[in-house]
Chains A and B, each alone.
Chain A
Amino acid sequence: DAKTTQPPSMDCAEGRAANLPCNHSTISGNEYVYWYRQIHSQGPQYIIHGLKNNETNEMASLIITEDRKSSTLILPHATLRDTAVYYCIVKSKVDSSYKLIFGSGTRLLVRP
């Protein structure tokens, strides 16, 4: 599976959009981009995933560049409860089981 690179930490003001970048320059054609987050001392939570089209759900939007070498997770109106570590993971869906390999992620701090 392709490797991802994320900034170790970011912060944003409450109510503003939080844009979390992820580089995955070695991604291959059948690999998806997944985003999870982990609030302190809890299990990771699935946020969104995509292949090449931009995706939106009730939690966030995922913007994938046309060459698919990078993506951005957007939390449109960040709240204090969005403070967490955000993980960007690239994974093929060829495998029958989804053994996701987590990196260090981006620690997002939402400021009041």
Chain B
Amino acid sequence: ETGVTQTPRHLVMGMTNKKSLKCEQHLGHNAMYWYKQSAKKPLELMFVYSLEERVENNSVPSRFSPECPNSSHLFLHLHTLQPEDSALYLCASSLLGGAGELFFGEGSRLTVL
């Protein structure tokens, strides 16, 4: 238990669906991250939020839309995804100015049919 909770743990969706992934942390952290891990590939950083402001968007397609309403919550809104978007989506949080330790959630495994 890392203190970072992701829901749902598993999601299957069609290409025309709209769904959202949710991440929640109550560690008092003020930076949050979305990573994508496709099969047999390294983790890819998608988005970084620092003090609820998006500070990094690593050329992620617009069909992925992040939202950070407060420092404890992070969402990834999904719409018109492609089968190649099937992956494990990992959320992490950290404390700005701290030791640089990221705390990861267990991930949401997404399958796009």
Interface residues of A (CB under 8 A from B): 32, 34, 36, 41-46, 49, 91, 93, 96-105
Measured in the bound complex, the distance between the Cα atoms of B106 and A34 in whole Å is 20
Say yes or no: A46-B42 contact (C-beta < 8 A), given A96-B50, A97-B56. Answer: no
**Size band of the interface chain B makes with A:** 20 to 34
Would you list which residues of chain B between 64 and 113 have a CB under 8 Å from chain A?
A: 88, 90, 92, 94, 96-97, 99-107, 109
Number of A-B contacts (CB under 8 A): 61
Contact B101 A46 (CB under 8 A): yes
Looking at the assembled complex, report how far the CB atom of A59 sits from the nearest CB atom of chain B, in whole angstroms: 12
B2, CB-defined interface residue at 8 Å: yes
Please give, as numbers and ranges, the residues of chain A lying within 8 Å of B99 by CB-CB distance: 49
**Complex contact B106–A43 (CB within 8 A):** yes
Pick the contact of B102 from A32, A46, A104 — CB < 8 Å?
A46
CB proximity of B18 to chain A, nearest CB, Å: 25
Q: Does chain A have a CB within 8 A of B48?
A: yes
**Partner pick for A91 among B43, B48, B92, B100, CB 8 A cutoff:** B100
CA distance A72 to B97 in the complex (A): 26
Q: In whole Å, how far is B41's beta carbon from the nearest beta carbon of chain A?
A: 8
B35 contacts across to A, CB distance below 8 A: 102
Chain B residues contacting A100 (CB-CB under 8 Å) are: 45, 100, 102
Chain A minimum-CB-distance residue to B40? A104
Residues of A within 8 A of B103 (CB): 46
Assess A104 versus B2: contact at CB under 8 Å? Given A43-B104, A98-B94: no
Question: Given A45-B2, A46-B101, A91-B100, is A102 in contact with B42 using a C-beta cutoff of 8 Å?
Answer: yes
Chain B residues whose C-beta falls within 8 Å of the C-beta of A97 in the assembled complex:
31, 48, 50, 55-56, 94, 96
